[in-house]
Structure 1
Amino acid sequence: MNQTTVNPWLGKLYRDRNTQFLFLQIVGWFSLSLISFFSLTLWYNQQSFAYIAHTLLQSVLGVAVSWPLRSVFHYLWNKPLALRLLLTIVSVLLCSLIWSALRIGTFLWMTDETDVWADFGGWLFGSIMIFLCWAAFYHGIKYYQLLQSEHEALLNFAAENKEEQLKRSRAETIAQEAQLKMLRYQLNPHFLFNTLNAISALVVGRSAANANTMIMQLSNFLRYSLENDPIKRVTLDQEVSALKLYLNIEKTRFADRLELEFDVDDAAHDVRIPSLLLQPLVENAIKYAIAPAEKGGKISIFAKLDDGHLIIEVKDTGPGIDVKKHSMSSGPGIGLKNTVDRLSAFYGDNYTFELRGPDGGGMTIYIRLPLEKQTAESNAVLGLGR
């Protein structure tokens, strides 16, 4: 942004009330000289040096006579309105009398005119009109400056209030991010403990090849988990890909005992959800539905759009639970409670998370989230695709 250089004198004129008063005094009174020259001096064909000099001198006298009015009006500013109005009129009349007398005296002194005092009433009337205009301009400018000061004070207050709100918002955001990171990172030790137990079992069972494969798959999954920001949302397509990294580990562990089914609506691929949302749900299903069953079982993941929301269902063919006897705090595993806490942090109350126990056995985790879709085109506009 280009910076505009302001003349120092103009800057002082804008900020300093004394400089403003001096400037307006000079401009105002010598503008009156021009008006007097064109309307009186030229009109009466009085173009000699003495008459022109008197036209200028009366403006100098006007500056001198009106100067104390500023202090008088400043003193009267907070007085009762009636007293203020009365003393303003008295001040205007007094200054008009003084200026008229000085104008006539200097006019007689500088010119050959002799019979001028007889027209004192005309000179006084003009003086009164000029000083009334002076008083009106002074009060008008004073009220305008007062209005500007109040406006600037309101703007400063609004700016300070906005800054305070921004600070509070940033503090709340930092606190929320810390909470989300804590919740997300709770999953890693929990998941890692289960996986290492499985690898240990393979090693004990002398399945070195499977153990090595699982270690490599675990490495890939943990790399994705640690590199992915727990605060940012990912697309459902990315989330399913991450889930498959995890399921590769479990397929190595359970082989044919674990059957998987994915049914994700094409329109839902770009919907953004919290990262690693599905992994603890699937891990919970494996721990409580697949692992205890001799023949294993099936886990199905369904996702579709419905009336501005994303519907996700994670189903298993395990023994199921009595949902009336379980809550998120007492239900099976830390994964479900952790997921609910994360959803609350991301969406507030604008989400649905339910455990459903079908009559035919098994358990279904039903999630309904508000739609947050960001297509490849909008990514390109935001510069996120680079």
Structure 2
Amino acid sequence: MQHAFLTNSPAEMPNWIDVLASAVGHRGRPLHQKHVKAEGQAWQNEGVMSPRMRQRIRLIAGVWLGWTIAGLFYIIQDTVPRLYRGGAVPWKYVFVGWMTGVYVCAALTPALLWLGNRWPIERRVTYAALHLCLSVVFSILASTIEVPILLLLGVFPALPPPPSIAAGVRIMLSFGLQGGVIRYWAVIALHAVYRSQKNAKTREREAFTLKVQASELAQQLATAQLSSLKMQLQPHFLFNTLGAIMVLIQQQKTAQAEGIVEKLGDLLRLTLDDVEAQEVPLWRELEFLRLYLSIEQVRFEDRLRVRIAPTTLSEVLVPHMVLQPIVENAVRHGLGQSEEAVTIEVVANSSNGSLNLIVSDDGPGLLSPRPGRPGIGLTNTRNRLARLYGDSAHLVIGQAEGRGVRVTITLPIRTVPPEGSRCD
């Protein structure tokens, strides 16, 4: 094992990479050998290194560079006092001896990283105690590997050289056991810090992903509510309109029947044009409302009067069809509970940086609360406002001055659609 690490031969490199990458990037689970072989084959076939392979090579280079820097630090620490005292420096013993020791540690680092992932010291106190025992084992193992190399290179730091490897290990441990323990804990601690930072970044990414998913779900819900509102509008509105057209034809009022058919076509065209839009300019919403009310006026004739006040806020964005259920309620309940003519007025103004959409009528007003839950149209409108604007939007229903009902919708003023408000 030691020889393979030191030679770094191409035949042995995939196993070395597998051990290191599994320790650092896969929480202790070794990569399947076929994945490494497949990536190596793809690299050879395409002549381009894969991102995962580049990451692993950077990890390997980082480990060996880190231990090289540590070795140079040991060398400086050993030579500076000698030079300061004016003594001779045995460069061969100092340089080769220290670098051999740190490179043995570098070769064993993948095993330490695996142990750190297998028993994370930050999770349990018992894991810290286990690593204390393992650090002693590591120091003995590192010395056992280091001694024959030093003897082979002729740089063993003791004279005369020991008669056997076992004797050399005993000599090394007599003054170097704590050094191996310190190196073990340095690797485990740095790996724990790295793992903690990586987990924190992972949690941040997951939180961001969940936030994006929640935003997308809210957008989908708002779109579903808008579709529900349109589905609710079209069937009964179309039936009522077709019934009015049949009455006009039976009364031989052909011109009026043709006019209502044309307006109905324009209304449906507007609905289809903005089928995916969450927000539209106010002028387009009022145009839709005029067509809708003009058709209702044909049905109710002189009993329904409409006034849409001019406004300078035509480019302000509003939720599509936000006024239709409000006006529909005014027509249904205002005319349904009164034999007299009813006037519906729509006003748009601004105050305190907000847009106010006001729909009022002079019908019977809020005579008594109806039993049961509020209508689907108003419920959907409130939910849509909450989804799109949060606490910045409000819908208030109250008694109008004199008589009738007044509904006020307050929205934040904005003229540029936010990203994702339209699906083109």
- The structure-2 alpha-carbon separation of the partners of 1:56 and 1:300, relative to structure 1 and needing over 3 Å to count, comes to closer
* 1:202 maps to 2:254: no
Which moves more between the two structures, 172-181 or 20-29?
20-29
* 1:374 maps to 2:414: yes
Q: Which consecutive unaligned segments of at least 5 residues does structure 2 have?
A: 1-47, 122-126, 162-170
Equivalent pair of 2:263/2:295 in contact (CA under 8 Å) = yes
Deviations 1:45-66 (A, max 9, x none): 89xxxx7656665457656997
Equivalent pair of 1:234/1:272 in contact (CA under 8 Å) = yes
SS at match of 2:344: strand
- The structure-2 alpha-carbon separation of the partners of 1:367 and 1:103, relative to structure 1 and needing over 3 Å to count, comes to same
Deviations 1:245-265 (A, max 9, x none): 223334555666643322244
SS at match of 2:252: coil
What residue is the counterpart of 2:380 in the other structure?
342
What residue is the counterpart of 1:219 in the other structure?
265
SS at match of 2:235: helix
What residue is the counterpart of 1:300 in the other structure?
345
Alpha carbon RMSD of aligned pairs, Å?
5.2
* One-letter identity of the residue aligned with 2:370: S
Deviations 1:177-210 (A, max 9, x none): 3233212320111221221111111001011121
CA-CA distance at 1:217 after TM superposition: 1.0
* 1:149 maps to 2:195: yes
What residue is the counterpart of 2:156 in the other structure?
102
- The structure-2 alpha-carbon separation of the partners of 1:37 and 1:383, relative to structure 1 and needing over 3 Å to count, comes to same
SS at match of 1:155: helix
Question: What TM-score does the superposition give when structure 1 sets the normalisation length?
Answer: 0.65
SS at match of 1:261: strand
Which moves more between the two structures, 273-282 or 233-242?
273-282
Equivalent pair of 2:306/2:345 in contact (CA under 8 Å) = yes
SS at match of 1:206: coil
CA-CA distance at 1:291 after TM superposition: 8.3
What residue is the counterpart of 1:163 in the other structure?
209
What residue is the counterpart of 1:140 in the other structure?
186
Q: Matched residues in 2 for 1:300 and 1:365: separation?
A: 9
CA-CA distance at 1:355 after TM superposition: 4.4
SS at match of 2:370: coil
What residue is the counterpart of 2:284 in the other structure?
238
2:406 counterpart (345, 365, 369): 365
Q: Which consecutive unaligned segments of at least 5 residues does structure 1 have?
A: 108-123, 331-335
* One-letter identity of the residue aligned with 1:311: N
Which moves more between the two structures, 6-15 or 280-289?
6-15
What residue is the counterpart of 2:229 in the other structure?
183
* 1:351 maps to 2:391: no
Which moves more between the two structures, 284-293 or 155-164?
284-293
* 1:274 maps to 2:319: yes
SS at match of 2:408: strand
What residue is the counterpart of 2:308 in the other structure?
262
Q: Matched residues in 1 for 2:100 and 2:182: separation?
A: 20
CA-CA distance at 1:276 after TM superposition: 2.1
CA-CA distance at 1:300 after TM superposition: 2.0
- The structure-2 alpha-carbon separation of the partners of 1:176 and 1:300, relative to structure 1 and needing over 3 Å to count, comes to closer
Q: Matched residues in 2 for 1:67 and 1:249: separation?
A: 83
Deviations 1:109-145 (A, max 9, x none): xxxxxxxxxxxxxxx9xx95x8866654553343112
CA-CA distance at 1:215 after TM superposition: 0.5
- The structure-2 alpha-carbon separation of the partners of 1:153 and 1:302, relative to structure 1 and needing over 3 Å to count, comes to closer
What residue is the counterpart of 2:59 in the other structure?
15
Equivalent pair of 2:64/2:106 in contact (CA under 8 Å) = no
CA-CA distance at 1:12 after TM superposition: 3.6
- The structure-2 alpha-carbon separation of the partners of 1:327 and 1:85, relative to structure 1 and needing over 3 Å to count, comes to same
What residue is the counterpart of 1:316 in the other structure?
361
Equivalent pair of 1:273/1:372 in contact (CA under 8 Å) = no
Equivalent pair of 1:298/1:317 in contact (CA under 8 Å) = yes
Equivalent pair of 2:317/2:417 in contact (CA under 8 Å) = no
Q: Matched residues in 2 for 1:327 and 1:214: separation?
A: 33
- The structure-2 alpha-carbon separation of the partners of 1:104 and 1:245, relative to structure 1 and needing over 3 Å to count, comes to same
Deviations 1:263-316 (A, max 9, x none): 2442x4344332223334434444554589787443322222233443333333
Deviations 1:95-117 (A, max 9, x none): 9xx8899334379xxxxxxxxxx
Q: Matched residues in 1 for 2:338 and 2:367: separation?
A: 23
Q: Matched residues in 2 for 1:200 and 1:137: separation?
A: 93
Question: What TM-score does the superposition give when structure 2 sets the normalisation length?
Answer: 0.60
The percentage of counterpart residues that share the same residue type is: 21
- The structure-2 alpha-carbon separation of the partners of 1:60 and 1:305, relative to structure 1 and needing over 3 Å to count, comes to closer
